[in-house]
Amino acid sequence: MLSPCTFAALHYWLVTGLLLAAAPAAHAQEQPPAPPQPQQSEQPQKPETAGRARPVGPGADQGLHVDASLSVVYDDNVYRVDSRAEDPVDDLIVTPTVEVSYNRDVGPRSFRLRGLLGYDQFVSETARSKPRIELEGAGRFLIAGTCAVEPLASYREQRADYGDINSRAENLQRYSTLSVAADCERPGFYPVVAWRRDTTRNGDGFEYADQTSNLYRAGLGYSLPSLGKLTWYYEHFDSDRPELAVTNRGDAVGIAFDRAVSPLTTINADLRWMRVRSSAPAIADYNGPGWTLRVTNTAIPRVKLSASTERTIVNDSLIATGFAIRTAHRLSAEVGLSELTSITAYADFSRRQFRQDAAIRPFSYTRDRTNQFGLIAQRKFTDRLAADLSVSRIDRSTNSDVSNYRATRVALGVTMRF
């Protein structure tokens, strides 16, 4: 447990951060919502901590930038245990991070590189300390005038969420993605093709969750300025889990829609019908809908409202021997107190159903739910210095008497741009 001095220091950081967030000034530069992407890998719960507030100014997204940040997180249940069954362990996590990015846009062409190196240092539970690495390169390049190719390569390394391990064993997870998408977007109809390869690698004792997934998509797009963009597509994926000798395969037909309905409202939607099956006979198929829907509205001055919902297939779950059906909903409201300060409130609701085979690996439950609520305050002091403060509450339960937990996190971070 943390000492009284540590709690006093935490209280000081919390009060100081709230005072800074309440000071006059306005919210940071807004980023448009990312387009729907197929998901084959488990994603970390987010945001458990505040996203780094960027000390940005006009044109700050272009060129070479180096951001150094330091965050201090208090977590009252680092091992994600059920507090009704045993006493949770709390700790402080100190994370220094350096991020280097390069962005270059020339008309419809774009190119970006990003690298992040950090280290999560647990003050008391030092065995939990792990590096955090993120690498990404992407671009959009024109071919034959109207056609474009968009390559992407990324790598991510981080410690696993204890909520899916339910023991003090350590697992360093490594994710990689390689993809190429091409289209000939123009008014009217045009072709669309894409390929995406995802890999997941785990530490000793968790190799059963390793997977290699290949996804193929082909479709027909339609674009009009008054309508937006529509894409009809067919999609197929194969996900191989060699340690379990299991292969998951899926097919989907769908339609994607992307449009700014008005100057104040944007809609991104991807609706599809999926058929997912496993090579293990005992793992039941999934025949049903999948979707990704995001709506953003700025009708109220200085307020940005966002809502999203999605259902996806996850092939590398630490729990399921087959695959997981994940349904998630999110609501958020960002309020700009001034030109430099903003406060965001959010609520996340996630449900997973696990398709499993007990003969391959025993399991205790077949579904879970995770609810997360939080507040994030962000403050830009200068074009080079920014700070953020977040508070979040996580509540996870399963359809059994194991792997249930609650946790509270408080994070304070500072970012300097060089």
For residue 362, what pLDDT is reported? 79
Burial class of residue 66 (count of CB atoms within 10 Å of its CB; 0-12, 13-18, 19+):
exposed
For residue 54, what pLDDT is reported? 52
What percentage of the chain carries pLDDT values higher than 90?
63
Beta bridge partners of 148: 142, 183
Q: Which of 359, 208, 211 is closest to 283 using CA atoms?
A: 359
Beta bridge partners of 330: 308, 348
> Lowest mean pLDDT: which of 21-25, 173-177, 319-323, 360-364?
21-25
Residue of 2 and 14 predicted with greater confidence: 2
For residue 359, what pLDDT is reported? 82
Range of the domain at 127: 4-417
Q: Which of 155, 229, 163, 246 is closest to 192 using CA atoms?
A: 229
In this predicted structure, the answer to whether residue 57 has a pLDDT above a threshold of 50 is: no
State pLDDT tens for residues 254-297: 999 988 777 889 999 999 999 999 999 989 999 999 999 999 99
For residue 278, what pLDDT is reported? 94
In angstroms, rounded to a whole number, what is the distance separating the alpha carbons of residues 295 and 329? Answer: 12
What's the total number of domains in the chain? 1
What percentage of the chain carries pLDDT values higher than 70?
85
In angstroms, rounded to a whole number, what is the distance separating the alpha carbons of residues 93 and 130? Answer: 11
- DSSP category for residue 11: H
State pLDDT tens for residues 76-119: 999 888 888 888 999 999 999 999 999 998 878 899 999 999 99
SS3 403: coil
In this predicted structure, the answer to whether residue 18 has a pLDDT above a threshold of 50 is: no
In angstroms, rounded to a whole number, what is the distance separating the alpha carbons of residues 16 and 28? Answer: 20
State pLDDT tens for residues 173-206: 999 999 999 999 888 999 999 999 999 999 888 8
CATH number of the domain to which 144 belongs = 2.40.160
Q: Which helix (H) or strand (E) holds 350?
A: strand 341-355
